[in-house]
Amino acid sequence: MAYTAEIIGVGTELLLGNTVNTDAQDVSLLLSELGVNVYFHTVVGDNPTRLKQAVEIAKSRSDIIITTGGLGPTFDDLTKQALAESFGKKLVFNEAVAQQIKDFFSKRLPAVKMTENNLQQAQLPEGCVIFDNGVGTAPGCAFEAEGKHVLMLPGPPRECRAMLKACVEPYLRKLSDAEIHSHNIHIFGLGESAVEQKLRNLMENLHNPTLAPYAKDGDVTLRMTAKAASKDEAEKLMTPVMSQVCETLGDIIYGIDTISLENTTVGLLLERGITLAAAESCTGGLFSKRLTDVPGSSRAFAGGIVAYSKNAKISLLDVPPELIAEKNAVSREVALAMADGARIKLGADIGIGITGIAGPGSDSSGLEPGTVFVALTTKDSSYCRSPLLFHDRERIRIVGSSHAFDMTRRLLTGLSVD
Amino acid sequence: MAYTAEIIGVGTELLLGNTVNTDAQDVSLLLSELGVNVYFHTVVGDNPTRLKQAVEIAKSRSDIIITTGGLGPTFDDLTKQALAESFGKKLVFNEAVAQQIKDFFSKRLPAVKMTENNLQQAQLPEGCVIFDNGVGTAPGCAFEAEGKHVLMLPGPPRECRAMLKACVEPYLRKLSDAEIHSHNIHIFGLGESAVEQKLRNLMENLHNPTLAPYAKDGDVTLRMTAKAASKDEAEKLMTPVMSQVCETLGDIIYGIDTISLENTTVGLLLERGITLAAAESCTGGLFSKRLTDVPGSSRAFAGGIVAYSKNAKISLLDVPPELIAEKNAVSREVALAMADGARIKLGADIGIGITGIAGPGSDSSGLEPGTVFVALTTKDSSYCRSPLLFHDRERIRIVGSSHAFDMTRRLLTGLSVD
């Protein structure tokens, strides 16, 4: 039987909107990897009554309760007290933990004077397992009571993340005898509903593995998850379904378990020793920014030119002024000329040219926002896509630059480009 | 009496950790601006039973229930059904909304075939107020029942944010007879704790207005909020406090109620008819991208050159190879030469040059990640900052480019630049 879990984030700053609850995401990612079903997230402020209320509700519906936050040294850090009370446990002063906290200050923060309230962090529920905090002073802890597992983690994302990996994962793996494994199938070139439509029959009849799509900025990811007694068996369950998905979707799948479209594309460029140069108008540097998000990309990237204005297109990219006058700055012809300009000026194998109207307004020629031309040229060939993007400015720029990555990927893997 | 609210995020992708719940943050920010007390966030999956459970709990403890997500066209989008059932309301097919959805597809996405399930989005709770979705197809809605206010918003963050501003804010303002007004004071150049320390005495003694700082990527925003019978009275309460804050913090305040540092900077460039050109290495296009995030920026932006590699710095920006050999590609001298190169090549008034180590690894010269040089030159003057940024790759790039905006802003307003 699979465990169910609930994550309780404690902190008024979350309810005020000052911070976003990345801890819930980090804990959820680990739990879903471990096959624990997370059914609820709750966020509650630094208020003992409402925190205990939330714990009572969690007790009634979840096997595992994981709290994040409220373990710090200040008077409004109440998580341990509240959880201990809810489960009828005492807090006990732990000498070893107190010593660790003292050492942390004297060795790592010699300039900072430890205040007495820091030692409050050495008060821990009786009989708990202590989770060392490798990054900060507040230790986490776990106990079992009333048939529930309670785990308490620090709120600062860095501390929470480190403790998840070092302490929580081994703790939870011991609870289960099933192994859960998953694969992410990454798609560009088809929307979420269209992907779902193509796979509906398959998805509705699947139980193990399961298959779930999610979409972000033009990318669609399908997550396949299987549960079995061993990793091998989980993989065995997934193999035939993976084949079916790959057969159904074909070459719009750009990767399996990859980080992003730009990572896949940069990987291909590096593998083949091919360089790329980019000329950007409406994306204004976003394509170059995304490309250079990938560590190591410098060997594949000859450089980028952001030619946002007409003059810059002429002076930086040698786009003929009469071409702009005749065809318009936002046109297939100018996108191709920009790609060639970047490629030739920078001595690269592949040139990318992106021009369009990101909005919010139309341009002087009356073209609507979302009109985008994405060109790719090499010394022997040239391609241009003109996807119609009805979105806001930000998303037009993201999806526009994704098309350039996708065209490059397709060129490098021998697929049709436009 | 102040209303209490609970935000229910609906979506299995949140429980799986595939996405982070930014909607809860956005809704919380608005509610705290309006003086509504948010006591709980809940996240629940695309599961009707558990969603109804969560709604029952929310009903028992909150005056206002705001859901985000689950309004889409696919079979697992169940929010409207669940909320309508919980409050004993029927769903009614709304012809006008159906027509809007059809128009959306025929006008804006002529290449995309609308599927029948898109019309499911025209099913709305009887007697509800409809919130138009300016950005996507799923309308939001609100109704009052059993003494509670229920508001349903779409999950995609951009759609949710647009609807919060256009529909939810006016809807909620009508519920209260007190007026809540606020100002955001934007700061660059001092950390959150340092800002708090400078204002501690003031902040601790304030009740109306209140003053709260929050930080993001090197920017600090102070939010001042006042509650009064009218807008004028609220402003009257804020004026003396605003003066005190401005006097205490001085010229590190880059704007009040502005959108972003780049918006302020582009505004100044446009106002003064001054053009800027950028040469970027470690930021890889992010500075240009942020600059061109601002609509209308093309008149101020002569162009950008992303010279990520050594060769590109030489060929695109005329940086002397011997300068790179002698001083290192990451150095004050090369940053200044890059700024000059961009400025002169592009015929701009101001040149920006950014070079540094964004990490994760060190460079061949052994410089640590976070070493960044940001240069600004004009034909008469040159400046260089070298902030030490202890962060990850993404944040080093963001804060590095922010320094370039800040230097430009300070130059244009006659303040010391480095």
pLDDT digits (tens, 9 = 90+) for A220-247: 999 898 888 888 999 999 999 999 999 9
> Is B1's pLDDT higher than 60?
no
> Is A1's pLDDT higher than 60?
no
Q: Are A40 and B43 in contact (CB under 8 A)?
A: yes
Inter-chain CB pairs, A–B, below 8 Å: 257
Residue A158 CB partners (closer than 8 Å, separation 6+): A135, A136
Contact A293 B316 (CB under 8 A): no
Q: Are B222 and B255 in contact (CB under 8 A)?
A: no
Predicted local confidence at residue B196, as pLDDT: 83
Predicted local confidence at residue A136, as pLDDT: 77
pLDDT band at A363 (very low <50, low <70, confident <90, very high): low
**Residue B40 with chain A: CB contacts under 8 Å:** 15, 42-44, 50, 54
CA dihedral A267, A270, A271, A275 (to 10 degrees): 120
For A305, which of B286, B297, B305 is closest by C-beta distance?
A: B305
> Is B273's pLDDT higher than 60?
yes
Residue B33's closest chain A neighbor by CA?
Answer: A16
Contact B42 A39 (CB under 8 A): no
Query: Within a 10 A sphere around the Cβ of B104, how many other Cβ atoms?
Result: 17
Q: Are B292 and B335 in contact (CB under 8 A)?
A: no
**Tens-digit pLDDT profile for residues B255-270:** 999 989 999 999 999 9
Distance from the A94 Cα atom to the nearest Cα atom in chain B, whole angstroms: 31
- What average pLDDT does this structure show over B48-61? 95
pLDDT band at A112 (very low <50, low <70, confident <90, very high): low
Per the structure block, which two tokens stand in for B325? 């050999």
Chain-wide mean pLDDT for chain A?
91
Q: What are phi and psi of A36, to 5 degrees?
A: -85, 130
Count of residues for chain A? 418
CA dihedral A214, A215, A216, A217 (to 10 degrees): 170
Distance from the B243 Cα atom to the nearest Cα atom in chain A, whole angstroms: 24
Interface of A with B in 289-308 (CB under 8 A): 289, 291-293, 295, 297-299, 301-308
**Residue B20 with chain A: CB contacts under 8 Å:** 20-22, 24-25
For A38, which of B15, B31, B117 is closest by C-beta distance?
A: B15
Residue B302's closest chain A neighbor by CA?
Answer: A312
Interface of B with A in 64-123 (CB under 8 A): 73-74, 108-112, 115, 117
Interface of A with B in 332-371 (CB under 8 A): 345-347, 359-361, 370
- What average pLDDT does this structure show over B12-37? 92
Q: Which of A252-266, B204-218, B257-271 has the lowest mean pLDDT?
A: B204-218
Distance from the B371 Cα atom to the nearest Cα atom in chain A, whole angstroms: 16
ipTM: 0.77
**Residue A394 with chain B: CB contacts under 8 Å:** 158, 293
For A306, which of B41, B285, B315 is closest by C-beta distance?
A: B285
> Is A294's pLDDT higher than 60?
yes
Query: Within a 10 A sphere around the Cβ of B103, how many other Cβ atoms?
Result: 10
pLDDT band at B112 (very low <50, low <70, confident <90, very high): low
Residue A316 touches partner B, C-beta closer than 8 Å? yes
**Tens-digit pLDDT profile for residues B140-180:** 999 999 999 999 999 999 899 999 999 999 999 888 777 78
Q: What are phi and psi of A371, to 5 degrees?
A: -75, 115
Residue A30's closest chain B neighbor by CA?
Answer: B17
**Residue B397 with chain A: CB contacts under 8 Å:** 289
Residue A350 CB partners (closer than 8 Å, separation 6+): A269, A274, A275, A276, A277, A343, A376, A377, A378, A408, A411
Distance from the B370 Cα atom to the nearest Cα atom in chain A, whole angstroms: 15
- What average pLDDT does this structure show over A106-133? 80
Query: Considering just the CA atoms, what is the radius of gyration of chain A in Å?
Result: 27
Distance from the A218 Cα atom to the nearest Cα atom in chain B, whole angstroms: 12
Q: Are B318 and B353 in contact (CB under 8 A)?
A: no
Contact B15 A40 (CB under 8 A): yes
Distance from the A34 Cα atom to the nearest Cα atom in chain B, whole angstroms: 11
pLDDT band at B109 (very low <50, low <70, confident <90, very high): low
- 3-class secondary-structure state, position B255: strand
Residue B31's closest chain A neighbor by CA?
Answer: A16
Predicted local confidence at residue A368, as pLDDT: 80
Q: Determine which helix (DSSP H) or strand (DSSP E) holds B210, and give its type and residue range.
A: strand B210-216
Residue B20 touches partner A, C-beta closer than 8 Å? yes
| In chain B, % of residues over pLDDT 70 | 96
Burial class (CB in 10 A: 0-12, 13-18, 19+), A190: middle
> Is B390's pLDDT higher than 80?
no
Residue A192's closest chain B neighbor by CA?
Answer: B74
Predicted local confidence at residue A27, as pLDDT: 97
| Cα separation values, A87 from A69, A150, A350, Å | 18, 9, 64
Distance, CA of B291 to CA of B297 (rounded, Å): 7
Interface of A with B in 365-384 (CB under 8 A): 370
Distance, CA of A273 to CA of B183 (rounded, Å): 53
Each as own residue / partner, the long-range contacts of residues B255-262 (CB below 8 Å, 24 or more positions apart, any chain) are B255/B186, B256/B183, B256/B184, B256/B185, B256/B186, B257/B183, B257/B184, B258/B184, B258/B186, B260/B290, B260/B293, B261/B186, B261/B188, B261/B219, B261/B402, B261/B405, B261/B406, B261/B409, B262/B290, B262/B291, B262/B293, B262/B294, B262/B405
Distance from the B312 Cα atom to the nearest Cα atom in chain A, whole angstroms: 6
Predicted local confidence at residue A212, as pLDDT: 82
For B346, which of A9, A312, A347 is closest by C-beta distance?
A: A312
Predicted local confidence at residue A33, as pLDDT: 80
Cis, bond preceding A125 (omega within 30 deg of 0)? no
Tell me how many degrees the CA angle B135-B139-B141 measures, rounded to the nearest 5.
Answer: 135
Residue A4's closest chain B neighbor by CA?
Answer: B15
Tell me how many degrees the CA angle B252-B256-B260 measures, rounded to the nearest 5.
Answer: 80
Q: Are B201 and A5 in contact (CB under 8 A)?
A: no
Per the structure block, which two tokens stand in for A213? 């799509």
Distance from the A39 Cα atom to the nearest Cα atom in chain B, whole angstroms: 6
> Is A147's pLDDT higher than 80?
yes
Residue B43 touches partner A, C-beta closer than 8 Å? yes
**Residue B308 with chain A: CB contacts under 8 Å:** 288, 292, 297-298, 301, 303-304
